[in-house]
Chains A and B, each alone.
Chain A
Amino acid sequence: MAKTELEPTTKPAKVKIRRGQLDDGGTPSLHGTIIKIILLGLVDAAALFAFMSLISQSNFGIAALLAGVTLLMNFVYLKRGLLPGKYLMPGLIFMAIFQVYVVGFSGYIAFTNFGGGHMSSKEDSITAIQQSSAFPVEGATVYPLTVVENAENKPFYLITINDDPEHLKVLVGGKDVPLAEVTGATIEEGKAVEAPGYTEMKFKEFADRQDEILPMRVFLNDGSGLFYKTPNGEDATQYQDKVIFNATEDSVLRVEDQVLFTDRGHGAYESADGEMILPGWRAEVGFDNFVKAVTNERIREPLLMVTLWTFAFALLTVFFTFAMGLGLAMLFNDERIRGRKIYRIAMVLPYAFPAFLSALIWQSMFNRKEGFINQVILGGMDISWLSDPTLAKVAVLLVNFWLGFPYMFLIATGALQSIPAELTESAKIDGASAWQQFRYVKLPLLLVSVSPLLIGSFAFNFNNFTLIYLVTGGGPKVVEADMNVGHTDILITLVYKIAFNTGSGANYGLASAFSILIFLVVGTISYIGFRRTRTLEDVN
């Protein structure tokens, strides 16, 4: 064995073993098996419980999915072999639930009109339309009201018209029963509380039946379409309807001009000339959002500029943070340096503070007139960091380097430690200079371990919304462009400006369509990057 250890790069003598023998992973130990079975049992129990709950909630699709995943899991763990599955399963399940789902959700939303005005279901929309359809008649009087019920427990409104306090007029009416005057009502403190055939409803019962009683419209008996409504069970006033919903025809009629709105498949009741009654609902709209995204005139002009800057921003960030982190890690990797511990802590500190706080602090430090950088560091210079297109980019990068280099420093420090000392020592013995040792021994090994991460960092910064948003807000404005775009805007902030500031608020559907398009761009480029750098290839 000793030979292998001292020279890990040389191949050991090949021992002939049947493939199957190694790949089934050897003999499982007894206590390992017991732990496995207990864990599996617990997971199965949770799954079974969830399955039954889902069935009782008629959520059959998800129940089936859950059952499938659970069975798969049991199969993987109880069957001998399938090692990759055993190791990948736990992480994959979490990833599937929380990440793949998010991507899938975005993918689905891209084909819907989800967003401002279309936030919920059609059912919710109809309720909301009916609810806000009723509006109080201007200047109408508020009359005392008692909620009563008849012998069949049907709710009725007992309204006391007290325009003339000497001669109270008591009206009663209910759902589909227009108001009519009643005589012989019991009056207490100027308010009718009961009438023959109608008993007062206890507040508790009213509260319990509020979903039935509060939306109730009790019409006047004059065909005017006016009705009484109560917000609280104590008084009532005259209302009228803006629109009338027709459940059988699935349509909405606007009273004012008798325009008919129907469901034309766009997630709202829509008139013949395309006017919509909001709230609408979430509906599938096919490729509309993609068409909108691709044909968007506003985005076309700044798109190239913003894309280039996005790449520059992400690449420069990765390159410099890594170079800085690695450089510093090597710098402090020399045992002869005193106070290495203190240096290292100082390097990590920027990372220990919440990034949004740091970004805000930096933003204020870049202020032209009062900022710390101009005033103190540069001794009172007048540099417009955030309003000059180039300097704003520099500023954003400086902040991002600051935020990012501790991460790279930590990684590089750990990575340097993982390089077997024998390698550099043997290089030293062979007479390699410090630079040669770095260039030909350490760097290649380091890149093997960290290059996937560098690509990950590239991806993160490609979509680093928070930083841009907090430091420059995308500004300064590109005055030549027709659209409100800034010199430091990256693709995701540009998408935000377009999809979250529309005339109806945030348009999640459009935002999703854009994010899928961005994803295709960055994904393709990263994929090519992967292939070129061959980071997925094995070193061993």
Chain B
Amino acid sequence: MLAYPGNKQKNEISQRKVKLVKKNMRGAFAAGAIALTAMLTFSGCASDPKPTTDVLDIWVDKLEAVALEGSAAKFEEETGIKINLVIKEGDPIEDFKVAGPAGEGPDVILGAHDKVGALVADGLVAPIDLGSKKGDFRENAIAAFTYDSNLYGMPYTIENIALVCNTEKVPSQPTWEDLKGVGVALSLNGGTGDPYHMYSIQTSFGSKVFKRDADGNYTSELDMANGGAEFANWLATEGAEVLDPESTWDSSVAALADGTKACWITGPWAQGAGDGAIDLKSGAYSIYSIPSVGGQDSVQFMGSRGFYISSYATDKLYAQKFVVDYVGTEEVQTAMFEAGGRIPAHKAAFEAASEDPIVKGFGAAGVKAEPMPAIPAMAAVWSAWGATEIAILQKKGDPAELWTKMIADIEAAIAG
């Protein structure tokens, strides 16, 4: 049974009301008194937020955190400023766009160079001056981080793709003709497409993503039509035979490992794939340049990753000092290579690592690579591009027509 305090004498009601009014008054006073005391306590606890110039926040990935620990400790010892290496998951650059202007972003953020245009247009990153050290870094990496005449990042790694082949089956640099019949894997993300890996084939038909101006800077005018129909037709014919539109990373690894396919168009990150089955250092696999399919030069995207300094950094001077003086040295750059196996952008570190088969192989394969455009318009191309390539591979329509539609669609997207 539920118990209710029973008191049902009606003549008490009016009395109660009088009491309650008094009680309410007293309640208000009591609440006020408590409020006052508690408030004093609050103001005691919450000291004014101090500007924390003695800590630099750096957003990194896990490998970078491991590699930078030593430099961070040294920096703290010598300057008294603590480096806070924050491992960010997901898409740190997107978080940075939100957190930066709110004053909650990092002082330094590590990211890919292809975001530089957008970051500059958003006013999020400050130019970085490497001074006399600029020449220590490979020119194409510096070019990748240069936007509108200014350098916005200190690169530490460069990556590009190559043709990885089973050495037994393909003992020397093949032509595209040689590859017919042995099988080439290219992961298309299970059906969402991968224009990045496909680009080296596309460019061999002369079709590039954006036009460049006289100084070599990318404009936001598409260059896909040039040779695009030929590429699209190739996709629908030979491409559809060679490539599986629903291939995935795992299926590509398995195909290479079990010998179904002799080669795989992939990047240095393939090292160790398939639980170590793909060992690019063992000699079982060789790294070749991607042969031209359409007859013209096969040009691929070069990507670089490096250190950006936030426009909202609390202490740009020390941020720059840490990046350039403590991290931009051969020693640390080599350490970063050793921690993550990522191919160095620092010339001396690159030289030192040049005997590494991966550095050597991908370095040679990437001679003709061009930095992936870092203009903001690049954000508008990917999804339509990938979806169209998949639709053409699946023979869902007239290839040239689909390609033309895609160009018009991307142009409309860029125009906003």
Contact = CB atoms under 8 A, between A and B. Distances in A.
Interface of A: 21, 27-29, 33, 36-38, 40-42, 44-46, 48-49, 52, 74, 78-80, 116-117, 119-121, 124-125, 127-129, 131-132, 134-136, 142, 206-207, 210, 214, 229, 231-235, 237, 242, 278-279, 292, 297-298, 363-364, 367-370, 384, 386-387, 473, 475-477, 479-480, 482-484, 486, 497-498, 500-507, 510
Nearest to B321: A232
A192 B354 CA distance: 41
A40 B126 CA distance: 48
A364 B376 contact: no
Interface stretch (B263-271, B331-339, B342-350, B387-395): B387-395
B295 interface: no
B84 interface: no
A40 B121 CA distance: 48
A366 B390 CA distance: 17
Nearest to A496: B383
B348 to A, nearest CB: 19
Contacts, number: 243
A116 B122 contact: yes
B402 A479 contact: yes
Interface in B103-156: 118, 120-124, 126-129, 131-132, 148-150
Give the 4 A-B CB pairs with smallest separation, nearest first.
A41-B34, A128-B123, A45-B38, A279-B123
Q: What size tier do the contact residues of chain B reach?
A: 35 or more
Given A279-B122, A505-B118, A44 B31 contact: yes
Contacts of A232: 129, 131, 317, 320-321, 324-325
Interface of B: 5, 7, 13, 16, 20-21, 23-24, 27-28, 30-39, 41-43, 46, 97, 100-101, 118, 120-124, 126-129, 131-132, 148-150, 190-192, 220, 244-248, 250-251, 254, 311, 315-318, 320-321, 324-325, 376-377, 379-380, 382-384, 387-388, 390-391, 394, 396-397, 402, 405-406, 408-409, 412-416
Contact of A501 (B132, B149, B250, B383): B383
A79 B317 CA distance: 58
Contacts of A229: 129
B31 A142 contact: no
A509 B321 CA distance: 38
Contacts of B123: 119-120, 124-125, 127-129, 278-279
Contacts of B321: 232
Contacts of A497: 383
Contact of A279 (B5, B121, B127, B248): B121
A249 to B, nearest CB: 21
Contacts of A510: 416
A400 to B, nearest CB: 18
Contacts of B382: 501
Given A297-B412, A503-B377, 6 more contacts: A44-B34, A119-B124, A278-B121, A477-B391, A479-B402, A484-B413
B387 A475 contact: yes
Contacts of A505: 118, 121-122, 376, 379
8 contacts: A37-B34, A79-B24, A116-B379, A128-B311, A135-B127, A135-B150, A232-B131, A505-B118
Give the interface centre of B5, B34, B35, B150 by most chain A CB atoms within 10 Å.
B35
A41 B311 CA distance: 43
A117 B35 CA distance: 46
A289 to B, nearest CB: 11
Contacts of A483: 409, 412
Contacts of A29: 5
Contact of B148 (A33, A125, A132, A506): A132
Given A41-B30, A117-B376, A505-B376, A124 B101 contact: yes
Nearest to B27: A37
Contacts of B317: 206-207, 210, 214, 232-233
Contacts of A278: 120-123
A503 B97 contact: no
Contacts of A298: 409, 412-413
Contacts of A128: 123, 311
A119 B384 CA distance: 26
Contacts of B38: 41-42, 44-46
A155 to B, nearest CB: 13
A369 B13 contact: no
Contacts of A132: 120, 126-127, 148, 150
Contacts of A74: 28, 31
Contact of B387 (A21, A482, A484): A484
Contacts of B23: 33
Contacts of B101: 119-121, 124
B190 A364 contact: yes
Give the interface centre of B5, B20, B150 by most chain A CB atoms within 10 Å.
B150
A41 B32 contact: yes
Give the interface centre of B122, B316, B388, B408 by most chain A CB atoms within 10 Å.
B122
B35 A367 contact: no
